[in-house]
């Protein structure tokens, strides 16, 4: 009888923990999905601004057509790669990051082209679009950092005892983080004069 009561008490303790743990996992899982949506939204904002920037530069930089075409192709590819919040696997985040990295590289080349054409740089539309893209890049970074923070909270919660016992049972695998988009971004650039 004592053994039965001990098992019953242990089972009751596990059930109360699993309920609280399960609800906590659901809340954190939803927070990760919502933040992944915010990251996607920030990238989409950048992709929406690119055609305007390209149009502004296109008029003055006719000889740089290959760069303009490359930026638009990178944008098209990036918009075709969607971040599915229900499947936040490391592989899917990597594909998404790779596509966005191509857009970032194209924007860098496009902004470098603008340096060669003073009339583009002095164009108020270009200046406004450049400021919006810089602001959007900051938003993207903030949203990625928030995503990593909620992912860290989720992963810590689901890997902590006793939640780790139930995470696998209830289908709450660890979530991947957003990592640096640009290879070599962890190294400081060399500045020479």
pLDDT at 193: 29
- Percent of the chain exceeding pLDDT 70 equals 64
Question: Which residue is it, tokens 């939204």?
Answer: 41
Q: Could you give phi then psi for residue 81, rounded to 5 degrees?
A: -95, 110
pLDDT tier, 189 (very low <50, low <70, confident <90, very high otherwise) = very low
Q: What is the CATH number of the domain that holds 62?
A: 1.20.1440.20
Q: Whole-prediction pTM value?
A: 0.61
Q: Is residue 128 part of a domain?
A: yes
Distance CA 18, CA 25 (A): 10
Q: What is the pLDDT of residues 78-114, one digit of tens each?
A: 666 677 777 777 787 888 777 777 777 777 766 666 6
Domain that holds residue 58: 29-170
Distance CA 82, CA 93 (A): 9
Report yes or no: 85 and 155 within 8 Å, Cβ to Cβ.
no
pLDDT at 67: 63
């Amino acid at each position: 009888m004592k053994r039965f009561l001990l098992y019953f008490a242990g089972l009751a303790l596990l059930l109360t923990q699993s309920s609280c743990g399960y609800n906590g996992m659901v809340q954190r899982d939803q927070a990760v999905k919502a933040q992944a949506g915010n990251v996607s939204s920030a990238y989409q904002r950048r992709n929406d601004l690119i055609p305007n920037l390209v149009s502004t530069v296109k008029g003055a930089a006719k000889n740089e057509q290959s760069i303009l075409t490359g930026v638009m192709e990178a944008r098209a590819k990036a918009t075709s790669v969607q971040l599915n919040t229900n499947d936040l696997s490391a592989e899917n985040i990597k594909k998404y990051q790779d596509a966005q990295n191509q857009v970032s590289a194209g924007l860098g080349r496009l902004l470098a082209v603008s340096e060669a054409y003073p009339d583009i740089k002095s164009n108020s539309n270009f200046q406004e679009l450049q400021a919006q893209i810089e602001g959007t890049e900051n938003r993207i970074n903030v949203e990625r950092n928030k995503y990593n923070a909620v992912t860290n909270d989720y992963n810590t919660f689901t890997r902590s005892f006793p939640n780790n016992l139930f995470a696998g049972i209830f289908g709450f695998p660890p979530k991947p983080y957003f990592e640096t988009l640009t290879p070599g971004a962890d190294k400081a650039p060399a500045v020479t004069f």
